[in-house]
Amino acid sequence: MEQYAISIYTVVAWLATVALLLFACHLRRPTTRLNLPPGPKPWPIIGNFNLIGSLPHHSIHDLAQKYGQIMHLKFGSKSVVVGSSVEMAKVILKTMDVNFVCRPKTAAGKYTTYNYSDMTWSPYGPYWRQARKMFNIELFSVKRLDSYEYIRVEETKSLLKELHKSCGGPIVLKQLLSNVSFNVICRIVVGRRYLDESEARKLGLTVYEFKKMLDELFLLSGVLNIGDWIPWIGFMDLQGYVKRMKALSKKFDRFLEHVLNEHEARRKAEGGSFVPNDMVDLLLQIADDPTLDVKIERNGVKGFTQDLLAGGTETSAISVEWAIAELIKHPEIFEKATEELDRVIGQDRWVEEKDMPNLPYIKAILKESLRLHPVAPLLVPRRARADCKVAGYDIPEDTQILVSVWTIGRDPKLWDKPLEFCPERFIGSEIDLKGNNFELLAFGTGRRMCPGYSLGLKIMESSLANLLHGFNWKLPGEMTKEEVSMEELFGLTTCLKTPLVVVATPKLALEMYSL
Instruction: Give the residue from 274, 258, 251 showing the smallest Cα distance to 186.
Output: 258
d(CA 120, CA 307): 7
How many CB atoms within 10 Å of residue 258?
A: 16
d(CA 368, CA 460): 13
Half-sphere exposure of 401 (CA within 13 A, CB side): 29
d(CA 240, CA 234): 10
Give the CA distances from residue 446 to residues 91, 390, 403, in Å, rounded to whole numbers and listed in that order.
11, 17, 13
Q: Establish whether 167 is an annotated binding residue.
A: no
Q: Is residue 450 within 8 Å of residue 444, measured between CB atoms? A: yes
* Helix, strand, coil percent content, the chain, rounded in steps of 5: 55, 10, 35
d(CA 120, CA 131): 10
Give the CA distances from residue 394 to residues 35, 48, 67, 186, in Å, rounded to whole numbers and listed in that order.
5, 19, 16, 45
d(CA 449, CA 58): 23
d(CA 436, CA 368): 16
Q: Is 80 helix (H, G, I), strand (E, B) or coil?
A: strand
Q: Is residue 171 within 8 Å of residue 163, measured between CB atoms? A: yes
> For residue 456, what are the contacts with CB-CB under 8 A and spacing of at least 6?
311, 312, 315, 316, 319, 443, 450
d(CA 60, CA 55): 9
Phi-psi region of 125 (alpha: psi -120 to 50; beta: other; left: phi over 0): left
Q: Which helix (H) or strand (E) holds 90?
A: helix 86-90
Q: Is residue 140 within 8 Å of residue 451, measured between CB atoms? A: yes
Instruction: Give the residue from 435, 411, 436, 444 showing the smallest Cα distance to 425.
Output: 411
d(CA 135, CA 296): 13
**What residues are designated binding site?**
450
Which residues are part of a known binding site for heme? 450
